[in-house]
Amino acid sequence: LMMAWMNRESLQRTAEEGQAVYWSRSRQKLWRKGERSGHQQLIREIRLDCDEDVLLLKVEQKGGIACHTGRKSCFYRKLDNGEWLSTDPVLRDPDAIYGTERGDKTGE
């Protein structure tokens, strides 16, 4: 599970290519999930919410890792008695995935 931004072009390319393409707000460019890590997201379904302002991509996550931290999900912290606890293990060290020279927060 992860959250990322899309614009019209990234949605169009995602639908055409069958692989997740997102918009990087920090780099102001398109990026393909897994372009550096190999952890591509192959599209199984694209859904639109009732307000038509949020998309849900149902994907096959290659390598089982969606987060640039090396975890299955970007949502690996939970609030417990007022403190954030990391609950999901790191499946692979990010340095082993990306090397020591990583990109922005997406890791891609």
Examine residue 41 and state whether it is found in any structural domain, yes or no: yes
CA angle 58, 26, 18 (to 5 degrees): 25
For 52-99, the pLDDT digits (tens) are 999 999 999 999 999 999 999 999 999 999 999 999 999 999 999 988
pLDDT of residue 105: 52
pLDDT of residue 21: 98
Examine residue 107 and state whether it is found in any structural domain, yes or no: no
pLDDT of residue 101: 61
CATH number of the domain within which 79 lies? 3.10.20.810
Sign for the CA dihedral angle at 28, 31, 8, 67 comes to: negative
For 6-53, the pLDDT digits (tens) are 999 999 999 999 999 999 999 999 999 999 999 999 999 999 999 999
Number of domains in the chain: 1
Query: What is the chain's percent helix, strand, coil content, to nearest 5?
Result: 15, 30, 55
Examine residue 106 and state whether it is found in any structural domain, yes or no: no
Examine residue 105 and state whether it is found in any structural domain, yes or no: no
- Per the structure, the complete domain to which residue 17 belongs is given by 8-96
Examine residue 79 and state whether it is found in any structural domain, yes or no: yes
Examine residue 56 and state whether it is found in any structural domain, yes or no: yes
Examine residue 91 and state whether it is found in any structural domain, yes or no: yes
Examine residue 3 and state whether it is found in any structural domain, yes or no: no
